[in-house]
Amino acid sequence: MKKILIVDDIPEYIDTIEPYLEDRFEILKAKSLNEAKNQLSEHQVALAIIDIRLKEEDPENKEGLELLKWMKEKMFQVPVIVMSAYQEFDYAVEALNLGAEYFMRKPLDPDELHSIVEKIL
């Protein structure tokens, strides 16, 4: 079974995404940049879904984009979907310029998520 890594600092949000994918994928979870890097070094993943802000209390935080950049340097073949609850257009542009396959706004639409994952994989 292929593995998908979901990275979000809010565990409840990961829990809302997981049911839509767990029937066809093994779901790995991470709440921080370091935890995500550990998961990626221990497991071969088919796809990563990453939140841009991994420290909600810091409005300048963009550790999700740091993770995306790191992944594209270390494991460029792994596709990445970036997500954000924030409406800043610059985030989407920056994520796509760094190599994300897709940018989604939170809350994620389950049908759109399924469609995008199918298209990417």
Backbone angles phi, psi at 83, to 5 degrees: -130, 155
48 three-state secondary structure: strand
Distance CA 59, CA 37 (A): 22
Amino acid at 46: A
Domains defined along the chain, listed by start: 3-120 (3.40.50.2300)
Distance CA 96, CA 46 (A): 18
Whole-prediction pTM? 0.94
pLDDT tens string 17-35: 999 999 999 999 999 999 9
pLDDT tens string 89-119: 788 899 999 999 999 999 899 999 999 999 9
How far apart, in Å, do the first and last CA atoms of the chain sit? 13
Strands 102-105 and 3-7: unpaired
